[in-house]
Amino acid sequence: MKRKAFGWSSLFCAGMVLMASCSSQSGNTSEDNGEASAPGDVTAYEPDSSTTYEIDWMPYITEPIDQDGKMVTYYEDKFNVDFNMVNVDHANIQELLNLKFASGEIPDVMLDGVSSDTIQQLVKQGVLLSLDEEVLKETMPDLYSKATELNPNWLEFAKVDDKIYGLPEMRDVYKYRTTIVWRGDWLENVGINKTPETLEEFEEALYKFTFEDPDQNGEDDTYGISLSGIPAIFGAFGYLPGYGPHDWQDWFWQERDGEMVFGAIQPEAKEALALLNKWYEDGVLDPEFITGENTGGYWALSHAFINGKIGFTGHGQYYHWNDELKNGDIGANYDEIQKISQEVADSLVHGLPPKGPGGMNLFAPNMLSGKIVGFSRYLEEEPQKLGKIFEILNHTSGTTKENNIEAVMGIEGEMWEENEDGIRKMLPEWEDVMDTGAGKFNLELGVFDLYEIRGDWAVEHGYDKGTLRNALFKPLPSESTYREELTKIRDEAYISMITGDQPIDAFDQFVEQWMNAGGDILTKEANEWYATLEK
């Protein structure tokens, strides 16, 4: 199928019949790029209306998409294209994609598999197409202007050596910081009437949770804090080390006196570690904190909290902890707690991160999600097809909210309806159908507000307060070389200092080790990049 597409479109764009081009995908590079490759020549990207382009479309799949799925055929008819849905399992995506790349197969559109972690390597492998900003502006006018308005540095994130290699996705749910949740009934049982606000109040509550039998079962079986609560404590000292349950937070850079610094090696982190070490020794910090609170299944569940082992958590995102909202949206953790006890669920208190000497800080993601939508380098020879793809993306993700909702949820009236409260509900016969292709043809950019109710809830519970964002939103040139090792060094050092295997003074040694293992190079690169930013 792929070959035929190549044959046909090369026939059109180069204007010559070259049967030989059908026999090899890479073989036709030299013949075809004569006319199309003048940079900024936007007319070359004008799709030919009489051609049915065949597009290998690789979505992010939780469930493989049917070739004849409702939305697949809908967009095929609408845009006069032929989608070949490439279903690549998300859990093994790197492995499977590398196999495909090795065999010369590159899906035209990759909505999965390209991310800030992998983009450099993929560029090195020559898989990704470099995009011209002028062309993006002209061929996807709505999408480009809306996304750029939302975040002027948007495309910066997909740049490698100053060339754009994809379209970074953005998510509006990331306006809000990570979680602070208390068990209200425990607070009450230990005689605290006010949600803890300062670091001292936090400490008091956590000690009482440990020693004053907050669940009133007569047994000493509770702890004050576990892994997911730790980032909040660091935040109170001003610098986030990225040490916590979620690895999407583990690369955290902040500004300090006009310079980019890595949170985990700041002197403030040492003070936080000393405090955590004290808590560990007093038995307030759950000795199982190293493995975290989730024991399997859905990643955002805090089993330790649900099972009443701890009464304070920072696990997951706010929307994993909300009660049932107007549109039926319910947090996964809330749902589980509710199954055990409705009263406990009702008593949950959403608080603010602790106020300490460094203020009140908790991780809030950048809008940039780390995901980048990439395009096959073979498209270089088929600018018209690329233009067609951009036309589709512009329509589904940039034009209007209606079009965006259609791409995300399907066809109004047929697949979902808006009820009298203004809430969009899937119709019963489509409720469980996952393979329609809905949500697979749009970019997530956050330009249209699709989560109004959830967002209101977050603001109401203070999730827009105390947010601290990663100042680094671009992959560094040598990141893939050093980052993994540096993360390991950090985790080992932190755990051994908290558990007392090493004295707190080992911190200085850790900083030195971190710097020598590539940290100094990355810090330099981060600052070089930072200097180029418009401030």
Partner 1 sequence: MKETSLGSRIFDFANILFMIILCCSTLYPFLYLLSMSLSPSTVSFAQIRIIPEALTLENYQQVLGYDYVIRGFINSLIRTILGTILMVAFTVAAAFVLAKKQFPHRRFWTMFIVMTMFFSGGLIPSYLLVKDLHLMNTVWALVLPGLVNAFQLIIARNFMMSLPEELEEAAKMDGANEIKILIKVIIPLSMPIIATLALWNAVGHWNQWFDSLIYMTDRDNDVLQVVMRRIVLQGNMEAMNGMMPQDSSNINPETLKAATVMVTTLPIICVYPFVQKYFVKGMMIGSVKG
**Binding residue for partner 1, selected from 23, 24, 92, 121, defined by CB under 8 A:** 92
Q: Can you tell me the distance from the alpha carbon of 535 to that of 533, in angstroms, rounded to the nearest whole number?
A: 6
Report whether 380 contacts 260 (CB < 8 A).
Answer: no
Taking CB under 8 A as the rule, does residue 36 contact partner 1? no
Q: Which stretch binds partner 1 (CB under 8 A): 4-12, 144-152, 280-288, 363-371?
A: 363-371
Q: Which is nearer to partner 1, 65 or 405 (CB)?
A: 65
Q: Which is nearer to partner 1, 139 or 222 (CB)?
A: 222
Q: Which is nearer to partner 1, 276 or 362 (CB)?
A: 362
Minimum gap (Å) between residue 312 Cβ and partner 1: 18
**Binding residue for partner 1, selected from 120, 277, 294, 394, defined by CB under 8 A:** 294
Minimum gap (Å) between residue 435 Cβ and partner 1: 6
Minimum gap (Å) between residue 499 Cβ and partner 1: 24
- DSSP letter for each residue of 262-311: EGGGSHHHHHHHHHHHHHHHHT-B-GGGGG-S--SSSTT--HHHHTTSBS
* Helix, strand, coil % in the chain, rounded to nearest 5: 45, 15, 40
Q: Which is nearer to partner 1, 2 or 256 (CB)?
A: 2
Q: Can you tell me the distance from the alpha carbon of 517 to that of 512, in angstroms, rounded to the nearest whole number?
A: 9
Taking CB under 8 A as the rule, does residue 102 contact partner 1? yes
* Angle ∠(116,249,454) on CA atoms, nearest 5: 100
Taking CB under 8 A as the rule, does residue 222 contact partner 1? no
Taking CB under 8 A as the rule, does residue 340 contact partner 1? yes
Coil, helix or strand for 241? coil
Of 395, 397, 482, nearest to 154 (Cα)? 397
Q: Which stretch binds partner 1 (CB under 8 A): 42-50, 58-66, 216-224, 422-430?
A: 58-66
Minimum gap (Å) between residue 61 Cβ and partner 1: 8
**Binding residue for partner 1, selected from 329, 380, 391, 491, defined by CB under 8 A:** 329
Burial of 130 (0-12, 13-18, 19+ CB in 10 A): middle
Minimum gap (Å) between residue 320 Cβ and partner 1: 8
Q: Which is nearer to partner 1, 63 or 412 (CB)?
A: 63
Taking CB under 8 A as the rule, does residue 63 contact partner 1? yes
Minimum gap (Å) between residue 246 Cβ and partner 1: 7
432 half-sphere exposure, CB direction, 13 A CA radius: 1
Minimum gap (Å) between residue 456 Cβ and partner 1: 15
Taking CB under 8 A as the rule, does residue 66 contact partner 1? yes
Taking CB under 8 A as the rule, does residue 443 contact partner 1? no
Taking CB under 8 A as the rule, does residue 464 contact partner 1? no
Indicate left, alpha or beta for 163 from its phi (over 0: left) and psi (-120 to 50: alpha): beta
Minimum gap (Å) between residue 102 Cβ and partner 1: 5
Which pair of tokens denotes residue 277?
């070490």
Q: Which stretch binds partner 1 (CB under 8 A): 11-19, 99-107, 202-210, 271-279?
A: 99-107
**Binding residue for partner 1, selected from 18, 44, 150, 330, defined by CB under 8 A:** 330
Report whether 215 contacts 189 (CB < 8 A).
Answer: yes
Q: Are strands 416-418 and 368-375 parallel, antiparallel or unpaired?
A: unpaired
Tokens 């009482």 -> residue: 208
Report whether 202 contacts 374 (CB < 8 A).
Answer: no
Q: Which is nearer to partner 1, 90 or 124 (CB)?
A: 90
B/e letters for 200-239, b = 16+ CB within 10 Å, e = fewer, are: ebbbebbbbbbeebbbeeeeeebbbbbbbbbbbbbbbbbb
Taking CB under 8 A as the rule, does residue 150 contact partner 1? no
Q: Which is nearer to partner 1, 251 or 507 (CB)?
A: 251
Q: Which is nearer to partner 1, 37 or 92 (CB)?
A: 92
**Binding residue for partner 1, selected from 24, 221, 299, 418, defined by CB under 8 A:** 299
Q: Position 512: which residue type?
A: E
Which pair of tokens denotes residue 127?
């898989």
Report whether 164 contacts 144 (CB < 8 A).
Answer: no
* Angle ∠(297,302,308) on CA atoms, nearest 5: 125
Subset of residues 300 to 319 that bind partner 1, contact rule: CB under 8 A: 300-301, 303, 306-307, 316-317, 319
Q: Where are the beta strands (DSSP E) in 403-530?
A: 416-418, 424-426, 467-468
Number of residues engaging partner 1 in binding (CB under 8 A):
55
**Binding residue for partner 1, selected from 270, 350, 371, 490, defined by CB under 8 A:** 371
**Binding residue for partner 1, selected from 134, 163, 298, 503, defined by CB under 8 A:** 298
Taking CB under 8 A as the rule, does residue 77 contact partner 1? no
Report whether 183 contacts 334 (CB < 8 A).
Answer: no
Q: Can you tell me the distance from the alpha carbon of 535 to that of 339, in angstroms, rounded to the nearest whole number?
A: 50
**Binding residue for partner 1, selected from 7, 64, 283, 462, defined by CB under 8 A:** 64
Report whether 185 contacts 347 (CB < 8 A).
Answer: yes
Minimum gap (Å) between residue 358 Cβ and partner 1: 25
Q: Which stretch binds partner 1 (CB under 8 A): 154-162, 204-212, 368-376, 456-464?
A: 368-376
Tokens 């936080």 -> residue: 272
Subset of residues 406 to 435 that bind partner 1, contact rule: CB under 8 A: 435
Site residues (CB under 8 A) for partner 1? 60, 62-67, 86-92, 96, 99, 102-103, 105, 115, 117, 171, 173-174, 246-248, 294, 296-301, 303, 306-307, 316-317, 319, 329-332, 335-337, 339-340, 365, 369-371, 435, 451
